Amino acid sequence: MQLDTTYRGLSAAESATATRMLEKFSPRLVRLLDEPSSLRAVVENGAEMTVTLTVSQRRGDLTASTGDRELAPAISDACDKLRAQLVRQRHRREAERHRATGGTE
């Protein structure tokens, strides 16, 4: 998975921390993907840290956004939201395949 990051208003140390956390969480998301895709991460520092993660796929984009006073919980929450969307999408695809084949397995 290709990881594209954009940091707005973060120090060098915060940017390095965010990069490490995103690299730590990305393998958990890759397991749920059936095709090559890219992950875009936008981390903004304002009144609170805002993290927006977008997975681009052939079928469309999935986006998760969250904010927190701390960087680590914001990234963790956004990854959890995106993971939940990917799981839901995978279950839908499997159900469609099951209906299309008429399988009872």
pLDDT, tens only, 43-91 = 999 899 999 999 998 888 999 999 999 999 999 999 999 999 999 988 8
Predicted local distance difference test score (pLDDT) of residue 105: 57
Distant-in-sequence, close-in-space partners of 9: CB < 8 Å, separation ≥ 6: 44, 45, 46
* Contact (Cβ atoms closer than 8 angstroms) between residue 53 and residue 37: no
* 4 three-state secondary structure: strand
Continuous segment of H or E residues that includes residue 32:
none
Instruction: Order across the sheet with 2-8: list the strands.
Output: 2-8, 38-45, 49-57, 60-68
Rounded to two decimals, the pTM is 0.85
The ranges assigned to domains in the chain are 2-101
Q: Which CATH architecture has domain 2-101?
A: 2-Layer Sandwich (3.30)
